[in-house]
Structure 1
């Protein structure tokens, strides 16, 4: 039970690090929507270029989930993600992690990635299947399921090599159970009593047991997709 509902980010980071190591040394990679460039340390064998629109400051409009602080002082490119000032076929790889939900039209970003990636170059994408409001007012889409990638990536010239679903229905519910106290503290004056805390603990135990015995609930709900694709 100690880990149930806590593996969303850990799973994603592990997958991204693994995929980045599969890209040959010296390749030029664009981190699109790089934010604070947290994946740059995984790219020491690559030539790393970061891009972001640079308008989020950590507090946004103070609604939903905000980071509190956000440092983008060292970005290589500050631009709209759908209009990145680089020539066609500039990059061997593009990485875009947890960004698509913050774009008014994510398909325009796919179109731009298709322009920027060299033939046989690779694309690493992650985005939530379902997400709470965060980084507002720059939050436009609640999430993306596997069918979205299967529909749109081929239309923009990408062949999906790997599509991994992170988590399952029970893991997602456990994540939100763990979030109850924080949301309650922000939006109510209600503090959990001993009985309620016991109930939440028992619920997490059950969700842990169900997750361990899961046989495919991620066809309904999960944290998000991890996608590795190649430009044809």
Structure 2
């Protein structure tokens, strides 16, 4: 199994956590987003969108992080990332999608680069933009979480794969996580688990490149 990603990419980080939770071995191939390697001919042949991550498993080429995570759950059902009950699955998907569809897309690298290039926003305005949308999303999530170790009960899964990278990104830009105690409680528990610590950006080979 081969994973193409970037160490600070939230989407790549999600998939690393999911692979680790399932105990699946993979070879990591760095794609430097700041150098534009995702737009090169070779990588575009793997992923026409020019985005990370891309996962290869034999002849299968998969893109889009949540689609990859859900495929992993179906192809490798041990250590499931989603609950058995369909109502619970829908709830976890909704929580996860609120991050991956509503918070993260409007603050990823290409959006921020466009805002700076086309509208001349400053670095300070960029941070204000990012924290505004994260706060809206986290405030809503805080109201939907129950006082259990993880969103689905006693085991981390899809939601935690999405949450921890978003927290990492928010904290990079100075977000005060004390405003979201339920989210922070989940993050604190996850931070003690090897599947999450191994997936952290600073532990990836390209973090020093």
Give the TM-score, by structure 1 length.
Answer: 0.32
More strand by share: 1
Greater gyration radius? 1
More helix by share: 2
Give the TM-score, by structure 2 length.
Answer: 0.35
